[in-house]
Amino acid sequence: MAIKAPTAEVYSALTSIEGLAGWWANDTAGKADDVGGIVTFRFVAGGFDMKVLELDPGNRVLWEVVEGPEEWVGTHVEWSLQQADDYTVILFKHLGWKEPVEFMYHCSTKWAIFLMSLKSLVETGTGTPDPHDVKIDNWN
């Protein structure tokens, strides 16, 4: 995915509570800009806590899920950023699922929805975080 913006702007949307609340979940709190910090995300359908494992400004963000749905705990969410002309290219991964359960497929689709929300937030100033996101099934 590519966002027409400098990597610093995308990185800020991934490492500030205001940014995360603007594209992923309105109910977001914690320390997203500190290695070792915990960020809490609360959605209408539930929530989870992420521990910030790595921050490489303008290049990489890595989280570990430390609390939440059983299938998510212990998984890692990785954001690799690269500048390409006027765009930030995001290489996104949600790693470490123990098995490909139905919830994984739901989450894969929802990640795409939220990545588009991130793109919208950075490019236009308005994202569609939960509870304003596109609903895709009976789980949300």
Residue range 102-139, pLDDT digits in tens: 999 999 999 999 999 999 999 999 999 999 999 998 88
**pTM (2 d.p.):** 0.96
- Percentage of the chain modeled with pLDDT above 70: 100
CB within 8 A of 12, min separation 6: which ones? 19
What is the longest distance spanned by two Cα atoms in the chain? 40
CA atoms within 13 A on the CB side of 40: 5
Per DSSP (E only), the strands in 6-105 are 27-30, 38-43, 46-56, 60-67, 76-84, 87-95
| Contact of 59 with 80, CB cutoff 8 Å | yes
Q: Which of 35-39, 71-75, 133-137 has the lowest mean pLDDT?
A: 133-137
Q: In this model, does residue 140 exceed pLDDT 80? A: no
How far apart are the C-alpha atoms of 33 and 113, rounded to whole Å? 24
Q: How far apart are CA 27 and CA 43, in angstroms?
A: 7
A 10 A CB-CB count for 23 gives 24
Record the tokens describing residue 130, joined without a space: 């939960």
